[in-house]
Amino acid sequence: MLLEVKHLKKVFKTRFSKEETTALVDIDFGVEEGEYIAIMGESGSGKTTLLNILSTLEKPTSGQVLLNKEDITAIKDKEISAFRRDHLGFVFQDFNLLDTLNVRDNIYLPLVLSKSSVELMKSRLKVLAPKLNIENLLEKQPFELSGGQKQRVAVARALISQPDLVLADEPTAALDFKNSEDLLNLFEEINDSGQTIIMVTHSSLAASHAKRVLFIKDGVLYHQLYRGEKTSTEFAKEITLSMIAFLGTSEEEEGSLNA
Ligand SMILES: Nc1ncnc2c1ncn2[C@@H]1O[C@H](COP(=O)(O)OP(=O)(O)OP(=O)(O)O)[C@@H](O)[C@H]1O
């Protein structure tokens, strides 16, 4: 098992009041190497909190997260950035590219920080660039790119360190339909080549490209679906029906399903 999430609980306490919010009640699941998992849930269900704990950005109140048997919730603060850089790849909703660096240097950044050789950076980018269709963008600045191009560059930056796990937070949220579909197809290809991916989303369409969908509500995981041999269109319908049955989605979404 690549990732084991054991009895995660997260309680937020505000500094100025005695009020507590339990964002995660008791989250338990495992991820095998090569899986592609979508985590779905409504606003406030705990998705971001869970992703932040998996990303080592946040510590749980109790519970463990084992990545290759190492408890990442116990990593010392001064070792956390290096751990994140070497083992995890991140793709965010708003791309998070550095405006002052060109595309090539943005992609190299994780390897520059881990003091890798220039030869290694060049050889990794040589393989990635054609796969992600960014060969002609390498000398450009981020502001010269479209949203879809920026996200492909962000995916290259996430993959350049050959991470154990790619964590994606609503990666299609800022993209139009066509660019979303392109990015989701790209994620499938990356997963087909062996990369493990966990993606948080509230889009059934985005989740339908994953192999397994975990549903979270009020800090509890209480349903999961496997894609199996289904097409993404068939799986999207099954996911939406589950959202309606288990989570109680709006009539508007129900209407669009029947349309
Ligand atoms: N830093 C914090 N301090 C206090 N409460 C918090 C904090 N972060 C999250 N929460 C609370 O924890 C619960 C879960 O929030 P979380 O952001 O994980 O949900 P989410 O599913 O990611 O929502 P969204 O889809 O809107 O991003 C919410 O009730 C939220 O208000």
Q: Which of 45, 61, 203, 214 to mutate to test the pocket of ligand 1 (most atoms within 8 A of CB)?
A: 45
- Assigned domain for 99 exists: yes
Ramachandran class of 133: left when φ > 0, alpha when ψ lies in -120 to 50, beta otherwise: left
- Kindly report the protein residue whose alpha carbon is nearest to atom 29 of ligand 1: 44
Q: State whether ipTM is beyond 0.90.
A: yes
| Domain limits for position 75 | 3-223
Ligand 1 near 45 CB (within 6 A): yes
DSSP annotation of 135? G
- Assigned domain for 230 exists: no
pTM > 0.95: no
- How remote is the CA of residue 85 from the centroid of ligand 1, in Å? 25
- Kindly report the protein residue whose alpha carbon is nearest to atom 25 of ligand 1: 43
- How remote is the CA of residue 216 from the centroid of ligand 1, in Å? 13
b/e code 115-128 from CB counts within 10 Å (16+ = b): eeeeeebeebbeeb
- Assigned domain for 148 exists: yes
pLDDT of 249: 57
Contacts of 200 (CB under 8 A, 6+ apart): 38, 39, 40, 47, 48, 50, 51, 168, 169, 170
**Atom in ligand 1 nearest the alpha carbon of residue 49:** 18
- Assigned domain for 199 exists: yes
Gap between the Cα atoms of 23 and 12, Å rounded? 7
* Digitized pLDDT (tens) for each residue of the chain, 259 residues in all: 999 999 999 999 877 777 899 999 999 999 999 999 999 998 899 999 999 999 999 999 999 999 999 999 999 999 999 999 999 999 999 899 999 999 999 999 999 999 999 999 999 999 999 999 999 999 999 999 999 999 999 999 999 999 999 999 999 999 999 999 999 999 999 999 999 999 999 899 999 999 999 999 999 998 999 999 999 999 999 999 998 887 665 544 444 444 3
- Assigned domain for 237 exists: no
Q: Are 161 and 89 in contact (CB under 8 A)?
A: yes
- Assigned domain for 102 exists: yes
- Kindly report the protein residue whose alpha carbon is nearest to atom 2 of ligand 1: 12
- How remote is the CA of residue 61 from the centroid of ligand 1, in Å? 15
Structure tokens at 54: 């998996």
Ligand 1 near 57 CB (within 6 A): no
Gap between the Cα atoms of 178 and 21, Å rounded? 38
- How remote is the CA of residue 91 from the centroid of ligand 1, in Å? 19
Ligand 1 near 44 CB (within 6 A): yes
Gap between the Cα atoms of 147 and 144, Å rounded? 10
- Assigned domain for 39 exists: yes
Q: What is the count of structural domains for the chain?
A: 1
CATH number at 169 reads 3.40.50.300
Length of the chain: 259
- Assigned domain for 232 exists: no
Q: What Cα–Cα distance (Å) separates residue 190 from each residue in 11, 38, 177?
A: 35, 15, 20
